[in-house]
């Protein structure tokens, strides 16, 4: 019997909401075979480049020449085998061409009898036409979404941009200029509004299995959240994900900017309608977001 072509699941974000944690729980779990790169960025670009696959393939080939079998993976990723190299090679060959869901689906044949999927937080901002097309092409795919308070999520994204020297810290000195930045900065506007994202999937892919999980629960109840995600995807939560502890956070020591009360007030006001919509759409932790900011 032939295996179904395509991903078993797609994680669509949010950015800075625990997608790296989720990827680690899956890539080391014996019921899953995950692509050797997190964030394929295939569905959110009209002409995907797969630059990350190209760079890792070059690195893997260099490492193989130096020491056979090491594969060149980062130290927090699982060891690669020949399937990973083939995946990277095929992905590189797809780069620079228009999106082709048939070819995208075939990438996941390397999973064999295991489960596999695509974890790309940028997918929360994909075009409406692509959502509908994914639903038509992969009607059995499961979509999951990690939801985080828009205020703290945005601040985490800004802190990351600051670490990479891609954020003007002078904006924080003048709340009104910072507010203008929020209103004009487009990249996060497609991915920072969780209720809007969920509404789009409800409307355009109503038959697709869609479930959200809260970032808050990853921090407060990591083992229970891992179990819920694995059960949703079809994995066995009683099997360990290698030596990965669900309660560990390898990004916990990342430097974060201090958020002043004035800046917090501007961000909360910017997201006020979204937080009320998220409270109604998701309930749970989201139901408390408006009151946290006096809304």
Class of domain 9-48+97-292: alpha beta
Q: Does position 249 have pLDDT exceeding 90, yes or no?
A: no
Mean pLDDT of the chain: 91
Tokens linked to 279? 């409270």
Q: What tens digit of pLDDT does each residue of 40-69 get? A: 999 999 899 988 888 888 887 777 666 554
Task: Indicate the angle between helix axes 272-282 and 261-270, nearest 10 degrees.
Answer: 60
Q: What tens digit of pLDDT does each residue of 208-233 get? A: 999 999 999 999 999 999 999 999 99
Sheet strands side by side (includes 117-119): 117-119, 9-11, 142-147, 209-214
Give 72's pLDDT tier (boundaries 50, 70, 90): very low
Q: Residues near 184 by Cβ (< 8 Å), separated by ≥ 6?
A: none
Burial 21-58 (b: 16+ CB within 10 A, else e): bbbbbbbbbebbbbbbbbbbbbbbbeebebebbeebbe
Q: Where are the domains of the chain?
A: 9-48+97-292
């Amino acid at each position: 019997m032939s295996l179904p072509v395509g991903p078993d699941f797609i994680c669509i974000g949010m950015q800075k909401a625990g997608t790296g944690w989720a990827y680690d729980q899956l890539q080391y779990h014996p019921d899953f075979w995950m692509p050797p790169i997190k964030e394929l960025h295939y569905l959110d670009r009209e002409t995907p480049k797969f630059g990350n696959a190209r760079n890792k393939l070059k690195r893997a080939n260099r490492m193989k020449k130096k020491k056979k079998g090491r594969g060149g993976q980062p130290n927090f990723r699982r060891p690669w085998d020949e399937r990973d190299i083939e995946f990277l090679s095929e992905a590189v060959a797809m780069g620079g061409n228009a999106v082709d869901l048939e070819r995208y689906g075939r990438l996941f044949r390397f999973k064999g009898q295991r489960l596999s999927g695509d974890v790309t937080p940028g997918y929360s901002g994909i075009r409406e036409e692509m959502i509908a097309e994914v639903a038509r092409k992969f009607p059995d795919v499961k979509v999951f979404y990690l939801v985080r308070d828009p205020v703290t999520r945005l601040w985490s994204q800004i802190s990351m941009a600051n670490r990479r020297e891609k954020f003007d810290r002078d904006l924080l000195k003048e709340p009104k200029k910072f507010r203008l930045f929020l209103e004009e900065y487009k990249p996060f506007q497609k991915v920072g509004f969780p209720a809007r994202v969920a509404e789009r999937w409800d409307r355009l892919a109503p038959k697709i299995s869609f479930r959200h999980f809260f970032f808050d629960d990853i921090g407060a109840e990591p083992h229970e959240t891992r179990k819920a995600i694995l059960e949703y995807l079809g994995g066995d939560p009683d099997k360990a994900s290698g030596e990965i502890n669900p309660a560990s956070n390898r990004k916990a020591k990342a430097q974060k900017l201090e958020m002043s009360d004035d800046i917090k007030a501007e961000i909360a006001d910017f997201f006020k309608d979204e937080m009320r919509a998220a409270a109604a759409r998701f309930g749970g932790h989201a139901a408390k977001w408006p009151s946290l900011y006096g809304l």
